[in-house]
Copies of this chain bind each other. A is one copy, B any other.
Amino acid sequence: MGKLPDFVQIKEVGPRDGLQNEKKWVPTEAKIAWINMLSNTGVKEIEFSSFVHPKMIPALSDAYEVGKRIKRNRDVTYSALVPNRKGLEFSLEAGIDGASVFMSVSETHNGKNINKSIHDTYPVLKEVIQEAKQAGKHVTGYVSTVFDCPHEGKIMPEAVIPVCDQLLEFGVDDLSLGDTLGSAVPIQVEKLLDQILKRYPQEKIIMHFHDTRGMAIANILTAMKYGISRFDSSIGGLGGCPYAPGAAGNVATNDVLYLLHGLGIETGVNEKKIQEASLYIQDILGKTLPSRSLLASGE
């Protein structure tokens, strides 16, 4: 396969990115039980919720209680999306290990997603990043719509760089580059990483793919050939973006593990336990999750 990483670290984003657009309310008790299951799958990081205003994402309005009540596994980093200072305050009280901030490369997407221009978002993020770092937390910068935007079309790698530069300057520990629309094909991944890896060490880069058009696994394979060894994924393939029409489904943790383990790459994650946790949330949501591997298991 050429040079591939020996070990890949998966960040499970199902409880946050996966659930945020679900119309069906997942009871707090069920979220806690589910996250506790995820804590025992071997994943090293779980993004467990989002500390945005409850009106913005009603599905995650219980972030504080979830954070307070999940049973912590000391081998797992529990992170959450934090949009502003108030959210950070709550999230710190709730006991986060890591904070994620969010910025879209696309002005229109950013505006629709957080009701602010990119310019006006920076000071808010700067404050959150610096206070989170002062509190000793790991901070990840999500950079979204790095390939395509539903409103602005193709995004050039040159447009991604300034956002990455700014977030790193503010102090984020790493960057998660998101194919928010789930529209990228491998050549776009190559073109972006050609630029990105000239500028930043690969350890700082996480790739965040959606499987909207079935390209995510090929994109992950492509990114690994560039030495990228950290990926976000969502159990069962839960998730999407409400402002990117049709963009349903983070790449499924199940499918990513099928690829990685098939290639002999270690992850430390137990596929059977991931499947159990997938079936648990699938039952609660009352709908079939899109992961192909999960479907193939016949359950």
Contacts and interface: CB of A to CB of B under 8 A. Distances in A.
Contacts of A221: 186, 218, 221-222
A248 B259 CA distance: 18
Nearest to A219: B218
By CB atoms of chain B within 10 A, which of A214, A259, A291, A292 has the most?
A: A214
Contacts of A134: none
Given A214-B217, A215-B259, A217-B218, A1 B293 contact: no
Contacts of A297: 246
Interface in A264-299: 264, 291-293, 295-298
A293 B259 contact: no
A185 B296 contact: no
A258 interface: yes
Count copies of this chain in the complex.
2
A246 B293 CA distance: 9
Nearest to A264: B187
Interface in A226-273: 245-249, 252, 255, 258-259, 262-264
Interface in A175-227: 182, 185-188, 190, 211-218, 220-222
Nearest to A255: B214
Contacts of A188: 262
A212 B296 contact: yes
Contacts of A190: 1
Given A186-B1, A186-B263, A218-B218, A213 B255 contact: yes
A292 B298 CA distance: 19
Given A186-B221, A296-B182, A214 B245 contact: no
30 contacts: A1-B186, A1-B187, A1-B190, A185-B258, A185-B263, A186-B259, A211-B292, A212-B292, A212-B296, A213-B296, A214-B214, A214-B216, A214-B255, A214-B258, A215-B255, A215-B258, A217-B217, A217-B218, A218-B221, A218-B259, A221-B221, A221-B222, A245-B298, A246-B295, A246-B296, A246-B297, A246-B298, A247-B296, A248-B296, A249-B292
Given A213-B258, A213-B292, A221-B221, 15 more contacts: A182-B296, A185-B263, A211-B214, A214-B214, A214-B216, A214-B255, A214-B291, A215-B217, A215-B258, A217-B217, A218-B218, A218-B220, A218-B221, A246-B295, A247-B296
